Amino acid sequence: MAKKNYEALAEEIIEVMGGKENMTFFIHCLTRLRFNVKDKGLIDNEKLKNIKGVVGSQWQGDQFQIIIGQHVGDVYKIICQKAGFEIKEIIKEDDVPKKKLSISLIFDSISGCVTPLLPLLIGGGLIKALLLILLQFKLISVESSTYIVLSFTGDAAFYFLPVFLGATGAKKFGANIGYGMLLGATLIHPQFIEMVTKGTPLSIYNIPIHAASYASTIFPMILATFVLSYVEKYITKFTPQMLKSLVVPLFTLLIMLPLTLCVLAPMGSILGTYLSTGITWLYDTTGFLAVGVVCGVYVFLCMTGMHTALLPILFTMLATVGYEPITVIASMLYTINQGVVTLVVAAKTKDKDIKSEALTCTVTSFVAGISEPALFGFSLKNKKLLYCSMIGCFCGGIYAGLMKVYCFAVAGTVGFLGLPGFIGSDSMNLINMIIAIAISCIVTFVLGMKFGYQNKEEVKC
């Protein structure tokens, strides 16, 4: 799409959103424009569906999302220019909608803490995967200095999670990042770890501290930074200005230390353990069927944003047991199959514009691992295609479950480029994952060509 078309698109979006006066909050992610508005009734959703360049739209909580695709950044900038404001300048605290406690808000909070760490965790995971490859081909030995340095660097990405989450969690909830990082560092301090290992009783203000190792954990610091944000704000509010630099840091930490060590960290650790144990139990009990079912319904998790809540469980399992048997498999099969759906459309449509848009979505799903353009632009507008992809994912998941395919590292994408994450000591693990993908793609494509799409059912994006 040419730049002049972005400008026309931006003008139309501003109009259907009820004008710039109706916008109270405006950001964008990888594929979507995200709006909070004063009056939801001013949004002309029917007109929005007919705008060329808009793939789809949806409400997620109180936020209205417009799916643009890979050009979202260009459209976002032009909307800001045409609306005549910088986002940070026009938003006032009173204009931001009050968020009510909901499942969606909980998922958003968890995702907001973990998502900024994905590059770090991906990097650490891929370093460990690279070492496995080098060992397989005898290009490096475990005694070499290079192997040792790369190994503890890969481990550090997971071991120091409490510190990293102290920063991202504090930022997400509006607390001081330094306090969050210090609380995280306290949980993995060598002396604390040593005393826990030896079983030495510990207490603070005569309150017993639960003996546990918090290295590589996620939920303890999410809970701790959430509470930290309220404790810090409360102390800041009632402290005289001239004493804030002394009183706020001291009393914030004196209050947060017992809360974190005695209550929040143990709660988070138990929660993470039970969730990981639950996934393992489900897998051990129902085996391949669980993998197939999760793969088949994963599209609904993505539609509702619930898939982000699986990230802490995924990384907890990678850090504790070293592998994850369901989530990444489901995510890859779903994403790649959305590309197959649009490949079916491209193969059968006679409309050149639709064919071009569909092929773009296919490449985006296969290579970049971004499924939203295909999902909202095609699958949800033709339910037959959606069902075909679900059946394909179910079949691929059944095979992956039967062959006990595991993910050992998150490779940064859930398209085909994510396959290195399945490299393990057993070379058949990667091969079986490739076969699972092939099965799911073939089933989706054949069903889609036969039943899922007819030329008379042209889908306009």
Residues in the chain: 461
Given 29, 388, 407, 461, which residue is catalytic? 29
Q: Could you report the per-residue pLDDT of 314-331, keeping only the tens digit for each?
A: 877 787 778 888 889 999
446 and 333 part of one domain: yes
Written as one letter, the residue type at 142 is V
Mean pLDDT of the chain: 82
**Does the residue 362 lie in any domain?**
yes
Tally of domains in the chain: 3
Could you say which of 250, 282, 314 is where a domain stops?
282
| Residue 276, C-beta contacts closer than 8 angstroms, at least 6 positions apart | 313, 316, 317, 320, 321
As a whole number of angstroms, the distance between CA 307 and CA 301 comes to 5
340 and 449 part of one domain: yes
Active site residue 441: no
As a whole number of angstroms, the distance between CA 85 and CA 335 comes to 36
Name, of 102-106, 401-405, 410-414, the range with top average pLDDT: 401-405
Neighbours of 205 (CB within 10 A): 8
**Does the residue 220 lie in any domain?**
yes
Higher pLDDT, 100 or 20: 20
Could you say which of 282, 308, 323 is where a domain stops?
282
As a whole number of angstroms, the distance between CA 236 and CA 214 comes to 29
Q: Could you report the per-residue pLDDT of 354-408, keeping only the tens digit for each?
A: 888 888 888 888 887 878 778 877 887 788 888 999 999 999 999 999 999 999 8
Task: Show the domain range for 34.
Answer: 3-98
Segment 57-86 shows an average pLDDT of 78
Predicted TM-score (pTM) of this structure:
0.60
